[in-house]
Amino acid sequence: MADGNRDTRRRFGRRSRSRPASVRQGEPGTDDSPDRQQPLVAMPEMTCSICGKQIFDLSSALAGKDGGSPVHFDCALAQIAEGEHLEAGEKIAYIGRGAFAVVEYRDKSMTAFTVKRRIQWEKEGEKYDWRKSIQQRFGL
């Protein structure tokens, strides 16, 4: 009985370094990474298909135009802005569900705006594998 207690305490003290057995094993490269701050859930490594850099925050990423692999939110926004001719007072805003809109603010406080046109970025209703996997990891 005393043995059991000691064992528990020892494992408790090491818990920040040891991986629980339930975590998926055999992911390449996870063990030689330096001791930087690890996110609570391990994310699959994803690269933005617009800028080619790694996407660290998949939960804010959007699906890219080609094939649906994820892109940075900012990269998608920049690409949309390139293709849009914005008048003075117009701005591109994310309106949810994979869609942006060109909006015109009615005053300087930027609280009231009109949606001038909607820009569908992600295919509506499309389920992306990389998003499914993070939703599962977060239990959504």
* Residue 14 CB neighbours (<10 A): 8
**Under rule CB under 5 A, residue 61 binds Zn ion:** no
String marking each residue 68-87 x if it binds Zn ion according to CB under 5 A: ----x--x------------
Choose the stretch contacting Zn ion; rule: CB under 5 A; options: 12-20, 65-73, 94-102, 111-119.
65-73
DSSP secondary structure string for all residues of 6-53: HHHHHHHHTTTTSPPTTSPP--TTTTTS-SPPPPSSPPPPEE-TTT--
By CB under 5 A, how many residues form the interface with Zn ion?
5
Is 51 a binder of Zn ion (CB under 5 A)? yes
**Cα 54 from Cα 14, distance rounded (Å):** 30
Q: Rule CB under 5 A: which residues touch Zn ion? A: 48, 50-51, 72, 75
